[in-house]
Amino acid sequence: MTLNPYAPIAQFYDLEYGELTDDIDFYANLARAGDGSVLDAGTGTGRIAFGLARLGFDVTGVDNCPELLAQALNRPPDAAVKTPLFLPADLRQLDLGRRFGIAVLGLNTFAHMLTGQDQERALLTLRQHLTPQGRLAITLENPYAWVTAMPQNEVVFGWTRPGPGAEERTTMSFATSLDLATQYRHLELWYDVAAADGRLRRHQGSFVLRWFYPTELALLLERCGFAVEQVFGSYDLDPFDGQSPLQIVIAKPQK
């Protein structure tokens, strides 16, 4: 069995993304327009799932990384919030036996679908889990920024933050290389953890992510039974253009 790329660095996932909340209201507005049920596809540690559950939505989160799901499942319960249902599952082989008002592929989740077969299987499966009036939201970073503005083949400082343990501080750095022929972004990550006594330990992770151009993604969605409804460049609903930070695609199942 191939080790999930998040497994070696799962403990840093919330340090990386835990403070990101800009997308919660965006997805909540989509859920309000539907029946209030949400499939958080690639939930990770449940950041989006918990954020939407706190707003009263019925959320199911799935992920294929046991180390990330364990953190979601081990969060202290909140009596005032209906805890999301978390399930281990691969998006390409999902069969939950129910349909949802919206399905969310959060930031760059779909970028892990590297091959055409992976992409089609994931989208076809998600379509089968949507109600006829449902919506699919795919959030990716702007592909043009990866190609034109991303520093390549050099180590770049990311951030320094407290955690993951008490009296620890972690510094993240990364290096990127691009393969323009395959549209693959190869990413190396280093998390250097400094303890209070000065000891330092390093954790390393690596990913391959695929970027998608707008027309390409629209054609892929159409081939899998979706129609693109809207494309935004930010969670504030700004129109997408070459300078947008994000590429957010809202698609509906074709009848």
15, 94: one domain? yes
Which pLDDT does position 1 carry in this prediction?
A: 39
Cβ atoms of residues 61 and 92 within 8 Å: no
In the chain, the number of structural domains is 2
Please, what is the end-to-end C-alpha distance for the chain in angstroms?
A: 38
Question: Per-residue pLDDT for 160 more than 90?
Answer: yes
What is the tens place of the pLDDT at every residue in 30-54? 999 999 999 999 999 999 999 999 9
Same domain, 20 and 127: yes
Within 77-209, where are the H helices?
116-128, 143-148
Clarify whether residues 220 and 138 are in a common domain: yes
Among the ranges given (64-78, 90-104, 215-229), the one the predictor scored with the smallest mean pLDDT: 64-78
Mean pLDDT, residues 66-86? 88
CA distances from 37 to 154, 189, 240 (A): 43, 35, 27
Q: Is the pLDDT of residue 23 over 50?
A: yes
- Do both 60 and 152 map to the same domain? no
> Residue 4 burial (CB < 10 Å; 0-12/13-18/19+)?
middle
Is 2 inside any structural domain?
no
Q: How confident is the model at residue 88 (pLDDT cuts 50, 70, 90)?
A: very high
Residue 188 CA to residue 177 CA, distance in Å, equals: 9
Question: Between residues 75 and 237, which one has the greater pLDDT?
Answer: 237
Give yes or no for residue 142 having a pLDDT over 70: yes
Taking 80 as the threshold, does the pLDDT of residue 79 lie above it? no
127 and 150 part of one domain: no
Same domain, 106 and 121: yes
With respect to residue 201, please indicate whether it lies within any of the assigned structural domains: yes
What tokens were used for 89? 């599952």
Same domain, 75 and 137: yes
Whether 119 and 220 share a structural domain = yes
pLDDT, average across residues 86-95: 95
- Condensed to tens digits (0 to 9), the pLDDT of residues 172-189 reads 999 999 999 999 999 999
Same domain, 111 and 198: no
pTM of the model: 0.95
Give the range of the structural domain holding residue 114, as residue numbers without chain letter. 7-143+213-253
